[in-house]
Chain A
Amino acid sequence: MRQYDTKYQTVIIGGGIAGMTAALQLYKFGIKSLIIEKEDKLGGHLIKWYKLFPGFVNADEVVSNVVSELIDKRMQVITGAEVTSIDSIYDNYIIRTSSGHSFEAESVLLAHGFKTFDPTKKEEYGYGLYSNVKTSVEIENILKEHSNITIPKRVGLIHCVGSRDEKAGNLHCSKLCCVSAVKQSIELKERFPDAEIICFYIDLRMFDNGFEELYMEAQIEHGIKFIRGRLSECSQNIDGSLVLKVQDTLTGLPMNVNVDWLILMVGKEAAKLPKFDKSIDVKLAPNKFVAPENIFYNPNQTSQPGIFCGGTVSGPKTIHESAADAKAAAMSIIDYLNRK
């Protein structure tokens, strides 16, 4: 069994892009850290992704570059272990894991990301009932694996599944689904050139560099159709194809659309926090993501001194936003340790 030290300046919970980036940044400033990742591999959600928007860079390439750097620098990582509890001891923290390890840390970085919305909660969308209803995560895997599958003639993508949906308990926008849908539409069109691809959206939030251009490219070069509409129900036809009952919210008219595949752009929800002892007070925002102490002046410090947040643990972010946020979190930690 690999031996670990028992005391670190920072323990990072989560080995996704945020956790790894923060660890590398801390390393540059001579801070000794440990990453604890619950999965067997580093990379977080990114390892399930095929290509990244807007430039269609391979997700594997980004992960392997960062992981290689961690290996080069012989950084301390523990995988396949979940943090079960965090207790305060004077002004340090004791972190215990499901693998039976226990570490003391002067500071903790929460970088355990998000979880995707469980679409079976929207049972009217048919996920888990019809095999041709898939999530945006599963479609990445299909695109990545290049497996032999029946070629669809028409594919529908539903935006905002479990996001901006009070009934689903999530009022927040998951931010990445619009551009992910545009990216996946283009990839599907390239993979199945004869298929008709239709996106059903509430509104398209193309907020970052290159996103609007990608949206235009999808329409002009790839003929992707965008219908402003909401899905009320997905049912199965006698031949196994799906019929979508949608309201076109621009014309105000109901539509029935037959598709072979339905892809649900599942939203991002706050991941489960480790169990804190009673003296630790990490406040959450109304959307249940970790709330920064001060969003303008101290965005990576939680309400608990010595516990920081980086990446999507404080809300949905793109890959580069997560990396930038993680670097900022690392700098906040350095500042904290210097003043301690």
Chain B
Amino acid sequence: MSKEKRDIWRKYQKSIGDDNFFFVRSCIRQNFFPASEQAFLHILRNELGKNVVEDARHTTCSGIGYHSDVVNFDTLQTIIARHFALMTEAKLKNVAISCVTSFGLYSEVLETWKEFPSELEKTRENLYKATKREFEIPENIAHCSDIIYKFREEIKNKEKNRLVNAETGEPLKIVDHIGCHYAKIFPEYGEGGAEFPQVLTGMIESWGGQTVDYPERRHCCGFGFRQYLVQANRGYSVSNTYKKLQSMEPYKPDMIIANCPGCTMFIDKWQYTISELEHRTFGPDKTGIPVLTYEELAGLVLGYDPWDLGLQMHQVSVEPLLDKMGIQYDKDKKFADKSGKIFSIPKQPEYIL
């Protein structure tokens, strides 16, 4: 990789809060990757000693409704203003956003208020009429991956596992996938911009891995709301992921990490769909390419138990990756709950391991 290419991201460096975060959860991540948000909170609070506040009154940002034309922009602004009101009540100024869709919408709303102050006034009025709440605009909004990126060296200092092949000592080849709404709408809101984003690459490189720069690196995973929500369009969604997997295959990546709920799920789950449709897999010996969230990756680096991180919830089996990294795990506990009771074991797919 040329020096210019390595360094182009430096044009886009954002300010990321240092402490005292108001955490806003994602609607869907807790179902798809149930331990990721918990891992984020654990890392920040217990490993890094940061103050992260949650509020049970926090709701959806309504992003899925907004992108499906069910929720209008006025409503969206008011909902996000309500979240800012909860942040203001907590006397905090930094928002930590778990979902990339939400992050894109928070950015869009803040930019709208900058460009059109009348929208801000209207939203203040709407929120007050509806809830009697008032709010301050946050000093800093960051996606949770920005925050893990910011503290990547602190995490490295506590690492138990490196992103290297335990047998050969070679760095693992890792594909990073950034959600479209993280930086493609407002490149300056993303660490490293939209073309050569650094947010996940920074983590990969700090923790010993190597980023794969493949031709379709910036291509959408295909989730795209309408592609997936309208059942008839799902073939379009699959074909986008298929295109990405074909493009990365010659580089033989060891894993994929993503910072968006939709992307992580679809790149993972569509590998099963593609195996059924095309009898095609992209890892060696009928395996797929494991897809992890950045918190799961950080958790592995910090030595957390893979099953506590919820890696058994992924479609593509993670065991080949764990073996490659030399991580010890108990095979029998993969589908066991905390008391040791085995819950139902999924059927093994025919074409993908």
Contact = CB atoms under 8 A, between A and B. Distances in A.
B213 A236 contact: yes
Contacts of A123: 8, 193, 195-196
Contact of A124 (B5, B195, B214, B251): B195
A129 interface: yes
A248 B248 CA distance: 24
B218 interface: yes
Interface size class of A (residues with CB under 8 A): 10 to 19
Contacts of B4: 128-129
A61 interface: no
B251 A238 contact: yes
A150 interface: no
B157 interface: no
Contacts of A233: 218
B8 A129 contact: yes
Interface string B188-202: 000001011000000
Contact of B215 (A124, A129, A243): A243
Contacts of A236: 213, 215
A123 B10 CA distance: 13
Question: Which interface class (under 10, 10 to 19, 20 to 34, 35 or more) fits B?
Answer: 10 to 19
A148 interface: no
Nearest to A232: B218
Chain A contact residues: over half helix, strand or loop, or mixed? Answer: mixed
Contacts of B213: 235-236
A238 B215 CA distance: 8
Contacts of A129: 2, 4-5, 8
B295 to A, nearest CB: 28
B250 A235 contact: no
B217 interface: yes
Nearest to B250: A238
A237 B249 CA distance: 12
Interface string B124-164: 00000000000000000000000000000000000000000
A236 B218 CA distance: 12
A128 B11 CA distance: 14
16 contacts: A123-B8, A123-B193, A123-B195, A128-B4, A129-B4, A129-B5, A129-B8, A130-B2, A130-B5, A233-B218, A235-B213, A235-B214, A235-B217, A235-B218, A236-B213, A238-B250
3 closest Cβ pairs, A-B complex: A235-B215, A129-B5, A243-B215
Given A123-B196, A131-B2, 19 more contacts: A123-B193, A123-B195, A124-B195, A124-B218, A128-B4, A128-B8, A129-B2, A129-B4, A129-B5, A129-B8, A233-B218, A235-B213, A235-B215, A235-B216, A235-B217, A235-B218, A236-B213, A236-B215, A238-B214
